Amino acid sequence: MSNDHDDRKEIIGDFLTWVRQNEAAGMEWFLDEGSAPVAGTPQPAPVTGTTADPDDPFLEICNQFVAQTLGLIERQPPVRKPDPSAQDKATALAALRDEVLPCTACPLHETRHSTVFGAGNPDADVVFVGEAPGRDEDIQGEPFVGRSGKLLTKILSAIGYGRDDVFICNILKCRPPNNRDPQPAEVAACEIHLKRQLAILDPRVICCLGRVAAQTLLGTDASLKRLRQTVHFYEGIPVMATYHPAALLRNPGWKRDTWNDVRKMRALIDALKLGES
């Protein structure tokens, strides 16, 4: 990535144009699942064509976020990347999946219906990491397929992604009984799978969905509120955190914050891609 200040300004300018063109795209999932706007909560401004309100203060917030994050990335120590000639990502993931599916490293294998390895594009720009499979995921063997999964699909669509454009997985590959939080021993047993998964995928950005996913991946006990405030790094990869879709179903008032989080994430990805071109 170039260190030239003018190049960075050009990248940010291009990104701001993108934000203006997509400002209102999230209205559909703001109002899904039968939830009405929370009284007093600002909703996305009406737009004409594809141009949003240029006075929206979020544009300046995004501007600052991208500039600060690009600066942080430039200051990160170099990280050894996997050799792309050794094995293509799809083949490597398939081999890892075959290893993980019969895993018996922790007691969760005794109560699971399916091992949920993860799914999506091996060459994805972003990997979404959740906490653990739920009932629907355990039955179908796929991540985020229940009500929260449908909401995640709408959120992705609002920032220009389909599920086939991203990769989705969880901290744990097996469902904890009654959807309880992962236990330390379970995380320790499953972490090796996630680390290998992320090393193969090597995305531009990781997005943690919910407190447990973010705390576990980053090795911290900081609150989700604090973790959402800035970018973190995992093996040199920028990590962002936002609310889990299941939490949004219980608390629709958090959708505005999540919408801002994922727009910043998409803006960062686009800025990184522009910087590489």
206: domain CATH number is 3.40.470.10
Closest by Cα among 112, 118, 114 to 96? 118
CB 209 within 8 A of CB 245: yes
Q: Is residue 216 part of a domain?
A: yes
pLDDT score of 3:
55
Q: Is residue 245 part of a domain?
A: yes
Query: What residues contact residue 7 under an 8 Å CB cut-off, 6+ apart?
Result: 275
pLDDT score of 30:
75
CA-to-CA separations, 137 to 93, 107, 119, 122, 146, in angstroms, rounded? 19, 18, 12, 20, 7
Distance (Å, rounded) from C-alpha 102 to C-alpha 115?
A: 8
Q: Is residue 110 part of a domain?
A: yes
Q: Please give the backbone phi and psi of residue 34, each rounded to the nearest 5 degrees, phi first.
A: 75, 10
pLDDT score of 54:
58
pLDDT score of 27:
65
DSSP strand pairing (167-170 vs 126-130)? parallel
DSSP state of 109: G
Q: What is the pTM of this model?
A: 0.84
**Cα 191 from chain centroid (whole Å):** 18
Distance (Å, rounded) from C-alpha 180 to C-alpha 57?
A: 39
Q: Is residue 223 part of a domain?
A: yes
Q: Is residue 143 part of a domain?
A: yes
Q: Which domain holds residue 189?
A: 89-252
Q: Is residue 262 part of a domain?
A: no
Regions of the chain short of the pLDDT cut 70: 1-27, 31-56, 80-86
Provide the number of structural domains found in the chain: 1
pLDDT score of 246:
94
Q: Is residue 269 part of a domain?
A: no
Q: Is residue 131 part of a domain?
A: yes
pLDDT score of 128:
98
